[in-house]
Amino acid sequence: MAIKFCPRCRSMMVLVKEGGRTVWKCPKCGYVEEVNSAVKLVERATITKRDDKPIVLTKSGEEALPKVRKVCPRCGNEEAYFWVQQTRAADEPPTRFYKCTRCGYVWREYE
Ligand SMILES: [Zn+2]
Ligand SMILES: [Zn+2]
C-alpha cells in the first residue's frame, strides 16, 4: 500500500471512504486528496479482460508467439507474429492470425 504525506502539514495521510469513493485524508489538518484515478482504471481493465474477439494478446503472450515474414497491409513492415485459432465451426479450417511487430495491426487469413 502506498504512503502519502500531507502537503500542508507533512503528517502521514490515510485512505478513507468518503461518499462511495476512496480518498487520502490527513488526520491532523483534514486535507483531502483524490486517489489517483489511473490506478482505478488499470484495476478495472484487468477485471473486464476477456477472451472475446478481437483477440488481444498480453505482452508475455506476444513474446511466446513465433514470428514470420509477412508484409503488414497497413504499414508495410515485413515481420509479424503468427498464430492459429479455431474461430468458427469445428469442421471448418482454423483461421490464421497475424500481428504486425511494428504497428500492432492484426489481420486474419482464411485458407
Ligand atoms: Zn495535514
Ligand atoms: Zn504494421
CB of 95 closer than 8 Å to CB of 107 = no
Catalytic residue among 33, 78, 92, 109: 92
Domain locations in the chain as residue ranges? 14-48, 59-109
Q: What is the CATH number of domain 59-109?
A: 2.20.25.10
Annotated catalytic residue 91: yes
Hey, what's the torsion of the CAs at 44, 49, 53, 56, to 10 degrees? 100
Range name among 6-10, 27-31, 35-39, 94-98 with the lowest pLDDT average: 35-39
Looking at residue 49, its pLDDT comes to 44
What pLDDT, on a 0 to 100 scale, did the predictor assign at position 88? 66
Q: What is the pTM of this model?
A: 0.41
Span from the CA of 25 to the centroid of ligand 1 (angstroms): 8
> How much distance in Å is there from the Cα of 2 to the middle of ligand 1?
17
- Could you report the per-residue pLDDT of 49-70, keeping only the tens digit for each? 444 444 555 555 555 788 999 9
- Annotated catalytic, 52? no
* Residues sharing a CB contact under 8 Å with residue 68, sequence separation 6 or more, in sequence order: 79, 80, 81, 82, 98
Distance from residue 83's CA to the centre of ligand 2 (Å): 16
